[in-house]
Amino acid sequence: MGRSVYIYTYGCQMNVHDSEKMRGLLVRDGFAVARRPEEADLIIFNTCAIREKAEQKFYSQLGRTKLIKKKRSSVRIAVSGCVAQECGEGIFKRAPFVDFVLGPQNIRHIPRMLAGGPRGVCVDDNHEIAAEELPPDRDSSIKAWVSIMYGCNNFCSYCIVPYTRGREVSRPSGSIVSEISALRDRGYREVTLLGQNVNSYRGDTDFPGLLRRIDATGIPRIRFMTSHPRDLSDDLMAVLADLPHVCEHLHLPLQSGADRILGLMNRGYTYDDYAGKAKQLRNMMPGIALTTDIIVGFPGETDEEYQSTVRALREIEFDGMFAFKYSPRKGTKAFTMRGQVSEGEKSERLSSLLLIQEEITRARNRTLEGTIQEVLVEGTAESDPGMMTGRTRSNKIVNFESSMDTVGSFIDVKIDRAMTHSLWGSRTDSH
């Protein structure tokens, strides 16, 4: 077989990073990275199963890829990620032209699978996953994803992740810290620690302990995701407030503002618990940005309960929100719950929620007008290639006039204008 690979990546940051790891393994084995799937000898679909829409997106792209294989039968097609784990051999039934299926806990086996028989499936539970050191081929030379734990033990009733990514396993802190020190030495400016529930990290230290050790490496910016509100301890809040390199941003999924729904979701907190913690965080760190995830139309959600979520958004004033229509996932507890909400109702709730949050986000962003923010310059702005773009410590996108040679450096930008999805400013100084 030839030696070039193209990877399609769907879903979350764990998947983005898993793709970097697979690419790293293959590049180490002599693979080149193809620019287009038509030119590749190996096409990998790193899939997401979190909502039906993500799955459909993958299946329609897979359908189009069948034509490539028709024209060029030597091309190999692999399906990895959460849909692979969920469907296993079933993928072959639906798409007989697929050659390999491997779940998220088995990505390190891709070279071995390619060397093996014509077809292969690897969807075993792998508890050694945390010990494996895979050499990622990273997309960026400024910001790096770093896995600190794998899997999830929460079993929120709507969520498929515990079934696809297995039980929680934490990576030893020494291995995490040495990876980050090496990244710092190579000039990386930012790391984002990844795990389904990072604050239940339990290596040879707990999550606040891990953050202290990472902060001491001197890597300029530290972020992490995702945190569970139930596990957000006073100690973690103190560490967030105290450590100089840990950025003032917390992504803390609320999911719903109604206690009955939170109970059915098996989230382990009430709205008041959550609001109390949010208040404490804002008292300790007035500049902290809080972002969240919301699901609308969970089974049995009444209009009143939806209104509780609206009230929660207005009370907490998140800096940003990702909202989703509940998507029934086979095998989860919520799949068989009564009172499934109609598609029309879900769409209405979603679009009105997005409008409400947009206003709140814009108002939050406006409070930054006139302030000076430290920005890590990432490249040219998407909406205007004549401008440069970067992020504040609070993770807000800032566009400003500057030159390409500032990429990778920290500069001070005065915020002139705040929009919903970005801030616009002018450079005041570099350091």
Least separation in angstroms between CB 12 and ligand SF4: 3
* Binding partner of 255, given ligand SF4, ligand 5AD, none, CB within 5-8 angstroms per partner class: ligand 5AD
Give the residue with the Cβ less far from ligand SF4, 47 or 392: 47
Q: Which of residues 144-163 bind ligand SF4 (CB under 6 A)?
A: 160-161
CA 396 to chain centre: 16
* Binding partner of 158, given ligand 5AD, ligand SF4, none, CB within 5-8 angstroms per partner class: ligand 5AD
**Nearest residue to ligand 5AD, scored by beta-carbon proximity:** 293
* Binding partner of 171, given ligand SF4, ligand 5AD, none, CB within 5-8 angstroms per partner class: none
Which amino acid is located at 85 in the chain?
Q
Which amino acid is located at 225 in the chain?
M
Least separation in angstroms between CB 12 and ligand 5AD: 6
> Pairing state of beta strands 372-380 and 320-325?
unpaired
36-39 long-range contacts, CB within 8 A, separation 24+? 36/6, 37/6, 37/8, 37/65, 37/68, 38/68, 39/4, 39/6
* Binding partner of 82, given ligand SF4, ligand 5AD, none, CB within 5-8 angstroms per partner class: ligand SF4
Size (the chain), residues: 431
* Binding partner of 191, given ligand SF4, ligand 5AD, none, CB within 5-8 angstroms per partner class: none
**C-alpha closest to that of 46 among 13, 83, 86, 74:** 83
Q: Does 14 bind ligand SF4 (CB under 6 A)?
A: yes
Question: What CA–CA distances, in Å, run from 90 to 52, 108, 109, 119, 162?
Answer: 17, 21, 19, 13, 20
Question: What CA–CA distances, in Å, run from 223 to 32, 89, 243, 245?
Answer: 31, 37, 12, 9
Least separation in angstroms between CB 63 and ligand SF4: 20
* Binding partner of 329, given ligand 5AD, ligand SF4, none, CB within 5-8 angstroms per partner class: ligand 5AD
Neighbour order of strands in the sheet with 76-81: 32-33, 4-9, 42-47, 76-81, 100-102, 120-122
Taking the CB of residue 349, how many other CB atoms lie within 10 A of it?
23
Please say whether the beta carbons of 172 and 202 come within 8 A.
no
Question: Where on the phi/psi map is residue 208: left (φ > 0), alpha (ψ -120 to 50), or beta?
Answer: alpha
Give the up-direction half-sphere exposure of residue 402: CA atoms within 13 A in the CB hemisphere: 31
Q: Does 295 bind ligand SF4 (CB under 6 A)?
A: no
Least separation in angstroms between CB 194 and ligand 5AD: 13
Give the residue with the Cβ less far from ligand 5AD, 299 or 390: 299
> Interface mask (CB under 6 A) for ligand SF4, residues 51-90, using x and -?
------------------------------xx--------
Give the residue with the Cβ less far from ligand 5AD, 37 or 320: 320
* Binding partner of 326, given ligand 5AD, ligand SF4, none, CB within 5-8 angstroms per partner class: ligand 5AD
Give the residue with the Cβ less far from ligand 5AD, 15 or 80: 15
Least separation in angstroms between CB 175 and ligand 5AD: 26
Span from 7-15, 94-102, 333-341, 345-353 in contact with ligand SF4 (CB under 6 A): 7-15
Tokens of 308: 């509780």
Least separation in angstroms between CB 65 and ligand SF4: 19
Give the residue with the Cβ less far from ligand 5AD, 97 or 163: 163
Give the up-direction half-sphere exposure of residue 174: CA atoms within 13 A in the CB hemisphere: 2
Question: What CA–CA distances, in Å, run from 422 to 154, 248, 361, 364?
Answer: 34, 17, 10, 12
Least separation in angstroms between CB 329 and ligand SF4: 9
Give the residue with the Cβ less far from ligand SF4, 271 or 298: 298
DSSP characters over 212-232: HHHHTTT-SEEEEE---GGG-
Query: Which one of residues 7, 22, 34, 49 is an interface residue with ligand SF4 (CB under 6 A)?
Result: 49
Please say whether the beta carbons of 64 and 85 come within 8 A.
no
Residue ranges in contact with ligand SF4 by CB under 6 A: 11-12, 14-15, 48-50, 81-82, 160-161, 164-165
